[in-house]
């Protein structure tokens, strides 16, 4: 009896682990263009293999068998960075992300300083890339960059991106309510659907939003337009007010959102009871 229970529990655990890994892979592939291509390629190979067996296509079947035999090794070599990012994303937790959960006042002050800096950069056509870390750790981009560890201020952000400043190139990373580093280099997005008019900063913003849950704010050096990349999507040509509202919304902790919903539901119940 005990052995039967243990065997059943082992099988359930085995299936749960496999489904968890598949879920993480599918979740990550939604925001990674290269990984999406891998899944599409695998599906095409499976369909061709099924078709060759159905129609007795000997040559096609033989080629597919060679691909199946050597394909995994080739994928590991070619897509090593993407595989590493998937494994990192599975192992990441909130403890590795934001240093602390910001209060409402801290969050509003942080957004206020960023927007003030962005307003100046926009008016003077000064390019900038500001990345805000959330749950996923950006340690691999912080390590080779120039460390700052300073309180967020619009004056400091403006001075970092001011032309001829040694830290002008690259991006700034913000952790919690601190500017951690400047001059960070991020992976550029390889998505072919991106407009060719977008420059390196916009592609880097999309790239970091594809490999993490970070918020990437861009000020165009040519046009002064403001854009924000979140979860592989680029919100292009935003107004200052729209950018401010989007930052406040995205930086709001999930727990606080649930708390507000509970409060609204409770208030609705109180109104119904009073009626």
How do the domains of the chain map onto residue ranges?
A: 2-91, 104-252
Confidence of residue 67 (pLDDT cuts 50, 70, 90): confident
Q: Looking at residues 51-72, what average pLDDT do you find?
A: 82
The pLDDT tens digits of the residues spanning 245-271 come to 999 999 887 654 444 444 444 445 455
Q: Looking at residues 69-79, what average pLDDT do you find?
A: 75
Please tell me the least confidently modeled range out of 55-64, 97-106, 166-175. 97-106
pLDDT for res 182: 94
The burial class, CB within 10 Å (0-12 / 13-18 / 19+), for 69 is exposed
Q: Tell me how many helices (H) and strands (E) the chain has.
A: 10, 7
104-252: CATH architecture: 3-Layer(aba) Sandwich (3.40)
CB 178 within 8 A of CB 138: no
Q: Looking at residues 17-40, what average pLDDT do you find?
A: 69
Whether the per-residue pLDDT at 89 is higher than 50: the answer is: yes
Confidence of residue 86 (pLDDT cuts 50, 70, 90): low
**What is the C-alpha to C-alpha distance for residues 95 and 83, in angstroms, rounded to an integer?**
22
pLDDT for res 264: 47
Percent of the chain with pLDDT over 90: 36
pLDDT for res 160: 94
The whole-model pTM stands at 0.65
Average model confidence (pLDDT) across the chain: 81
Whether the per-residue pLDDT at 227 is higher than 70: the answer is: yes
Q: Looking at residues 162-176, what average pLDDT do you find?
A: 89
pLDDT for res 195: 81
The secondary structure element, H or E, covering residue 215 is strand 215-219
């Amino acid at each position: 009896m005990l052995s039967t229970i243990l065997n059943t529990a082992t099988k359930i655990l085995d299936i749960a682990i496999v489904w968890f890994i598949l879920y993480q892979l599918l979740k990550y592939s939604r925001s990674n263009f290269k990984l999406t291509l891998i899944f599409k390629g695998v599906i095409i190979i499976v369909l061709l293999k099924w078709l060759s067996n159905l129609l007795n296509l000997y040559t096609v079947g033989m080629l597919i068998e060679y691909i199946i035999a050597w394909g995994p090794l080739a994928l590991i070599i070619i897509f090593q960075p993407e595989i590493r990012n998937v494994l990192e994303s599975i192992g990441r937790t909130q403890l590795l992300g934001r240093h602390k959960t910001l209060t409402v006042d801290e969050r509003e002050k942080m957004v206020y300083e960023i927007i003030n800096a962005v307003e100046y950069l926009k008016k003077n056509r000064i390019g900038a890339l500001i990345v805000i870390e959330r749950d996923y750790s950006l340690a691999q981009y912080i390590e080779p960059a120039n460390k700052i560890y300073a309180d967020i201020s619009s004056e400091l952000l403006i001075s970092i991106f001011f032309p001829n400043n040694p830290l002008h190139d690259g991006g700034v990373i913000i952790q919690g309510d601190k500017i951690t580093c400047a001059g960070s280099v991020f992976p550029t997005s390889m998505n072919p659907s991106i407009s060719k008019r977008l420059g390196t900063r916009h592609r880097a913003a999309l790239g970091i939003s594809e490999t993490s849950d970070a918020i990437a704010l861009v000020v165009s050096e040519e046009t002064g337009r403001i854009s924000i990349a979140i979860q592989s999507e680029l919100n292009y040509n935003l107004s200052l007010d729209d950018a401010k509202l989007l930052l406040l919304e995205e930086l709001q902790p999930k727990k606080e959102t649930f708390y507000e919903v509970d409060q609204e539901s409770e208030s609705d119940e109180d109104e119904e009871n009073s009626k």
